[in-house]
Structure 1
Amino acid sequence: MASLPTPSADSRIRAGALREALATRVVVADGAMGTMLQAQDPTLEDFQGLEGCNEVLNVTRPDIVRSVHEEYFAAGVDCVETNTFGANSSALGEYDIAGRIFELSQAGARIARGVADEFTVSSGRQRWVLGSMGPGTKLPTLGHTSYAGLRDGFQQNAEGLIAGGADALVIETTQDLLQTKAAVLGARRAMEAAGSDLLVLCSLAFETTGTMLLGSEIGAALTALEPLGIDMIGLNCSTGPAEMSEHLRYLARHSRIPLLCMPNAGLPVLTKDGAHFPLGPEGLADAQETFVREYGLSLVGGCCGTTPEHLRQVVERVRGVAVTPRTPHPEPGAASLYQTVPFRQDTSYLAIGERTNANGSKKFREAMLEARWDDCVE
């Protein structure tokens, strides 16, 4: 964007209060957005002919979007995510409206901001807005799109969210570490352009296979992303809480930064009426309470299949609970796309196979077979 509004004193105060809250107590976010919107049967006209593009509802049916935020705040959550999960270059590009990224992002943030401010006044308790930055539909590691194009689209997404009044940016449901880096850098560029300093939260999607979509292990993700200066890391979507436990255990042991978790309501079960998420409100509340106490989570919420009732019960379990202190033991290392390799050397010689090439050197092979080690060293 050519120019962005300067952050107000109020926005800086809100962002600071969110930082303090996350450092001292468990903060609760909302649950599913898409299914809540679809339950209100928006028309094709509401979608401006772009069926399924929920972000368009931010300008055509703000009343529907507003009602979802109201239900979650009424359930007692501290913050809601904006209806901007698909407001990025690849997702909107499939509808041929990539030029509307900023517009739809800003509109989504403004709706959530208005509702949050109303509940702050009526309840006397600060409520916040998390600007949702979804992964899009293209994976740069697989060559679906360019890194630079993806980054610039995420920057427009973040600029709109900042202009609309978001208190933090949530890069969520990430499936490709290169895609995630593009989103983080886009968010950083947007904040620099706006002169703001919002929290940047990073939430990864791990499959039932135990890795991200492209095969990245949790250690690779932490090693690659933590140095980028993100403020929180955690998991959302793809699975229910049961499948997230080991990943959270790893993060609790090794992450220097605070943790978050927003699982689905269990693994979906396909029925004649579509996908059904089997985990009820009490089950989600049980899991999140356990995660909070065992892994020291700072932010909890829900994803696909979760409802205001799910989050109401989570709020009842963790409201006012202090963040459990952790003593992480970071492992310095390097990561490929797939795994992390700690910078750790056993107290022994380092064998480098290519330097003992018995196949390529007849002289070396004979010396080795005859145990003439000095000749081998030479």
Structure 2
Amino acid sequence: MTSFRDALSRRVLVADGAMGTMLQAHDPSLEDFQGLEGCNEVLNVTRPDVVAGVHDAYLSAGADVVETNTFGANWAALGEYDISHRIGELSAAGARIARERADHWSEVSGRRRYVLGSMGPGTKLPSLGHTTFAVLREGYRQNAEGLIEGGADGLIVETCQDLLQVKAAVLGARDAVAACGRDVVLVVQVTIETNGAMLLGSEIGAALGVIEPLGADVIGLNCATGPAEMSEHLRYLARHCDVAISCMPNAGLPELTADGARYPLGPSELAEAQAGFVEQFGVGLVGGCCGTTPEHIAAVARAVAGRPVAARRAAPVRGAASLYAHVPFSQDASYLAIGERTNANGSRVFREAMLAGRWEE
């Protein structure tokens, strides 16, 4: 059977859609959540049948790839429930369920299906001082280790909002991959808001400048918006990204109704948009995020599944990235100065260290 890495290089692969809303539709009880209401990852051990049913729905719709029910199986998210010690257990359990269903559908259909281990952003952003880089990296290492143990073909660091969190997740994942000795594909997806930047203000060039050197195999976008709002960011990736590209949008921008959020984009509209991204930008991994259903994924699969990945000529722009922007190394002047403003007025501690010459501090 073709490996996940080989399949990505040869044809367009279709991933699944939303997980959380599908789980909630089964109306899990408080007992199912082990008293931790809303912690979907606990269902991996209490209601594996429900989780397996979600995977089956997407696989029967034509998905080549299913993501594990582990979006919140990280130090920060599980820490909200005081169960961060269960990162490895819940990650491995989620991966085993997805692996079993993917193998079943591989055998039934004669077409290999794959598992991506979902690694979400959590609730603590290191750039805002919520936690330390070292704590996050170790938590993500445990997350990735459990996913690999459970049989994931790849890891997907997704819905990223803070580039420092991205670094912690990717390096934690790479630590786990190095320890396991297996070929595990690494996908990284950032979330660009309607204002054209990540939550902390990073534009797509800065994101690419940080992520690509870390060794990601696939770089892309997911969540926050529908496909229309992702178009220009994908265009940038198509022009400048050296590795494969992915796209998993919401079913449009959510509309608030009396019954809660409604996602307006129908299956045919999502499929048309994804087909356009495949043709124009050489996107090789497509799927859905919030508001997408098996019907959406079935339409996308009919539109693009099995197509060869469109050839593109990327022209990487080498440079340095701050949290906000990418600075190319191309020079108009005789030398290029890259610096950062100091905060001597806003921080008394910083000012005193600077005046005293305590540069390391």
TM-score by length of 1: 0.88
Amino acid at match of 2:239: R
Q: CA offsets per residue over residues 279-318 of structure 1, 9 Å max, x none?
A: 0001100100000000001100000000000000000000
What is residue 120 of structure 2 aligned with on the other side?
134
Alignment of 1:1-378 (within 5 A): 17-346=3-332
CA distance 1:349–1:231, change in 2 (3 Å): closer
Q: 1:197 Cα deviation (Å)?
A: 2.3
Q: CA offsets per residue over residues 331-350 of structure 1, 9 Å max, x none?
A: 1101100000101112x556
Q: 1:17 Cα deviation (Å)?
A: 1.6
Q: 1:115 Cα deviation (Å)?
A: 0.4
CA distance in 1, matches of 2:285, 2:336: 45
Amino acid at match of 1:135: P
Between 314-323 and 288-297, the greater mean CA deviation after superposition: 314-323
What is residue 363 of structure 1 aligned with on the other side?
none
Q: 1:211 Cα deviation (Å)?
A: 0.2
CA distance 1:45–1:227, change in 2 (3 Å): same
Amino acid at match of 2:160: T
Q: 1:24 Cα deviation (Å)?
A: 1.3
SS of the equivalent of 1:259 reads strand
User: How many residues are treated as equivalent by the alignment?
Assistant: 337
CA distance in 1, matches of 2:244, 2:113: 20
Could you tell me the percent identity over the aligned residues? 66
CA distance in 2, matches of 1:79, 1:42: 25
TM-score by length of 2: 0.92
CA distance in 1, matches of 2:69, 2:97: 9
Flag structure 2 segments of 5+ consecutive residues without an equivalent.
338-361
CA distance in 2, matches of 1:350, 1:306: 49
Flag structure 1 segments of 5+ consecutive residues without an equivalent.
1-13, 353-378
Greater Rg by CA = 1
CA distance 1:350–1:22, change in 2 (3 Å): closer
What is residue 365 of structure 1 aligned with on the other side?
none
Amino acid at match of 2:24: Q
CA distance 1:350–1:132, change in 2 (3 Å): closer
Amino acid at match of 1:136: G
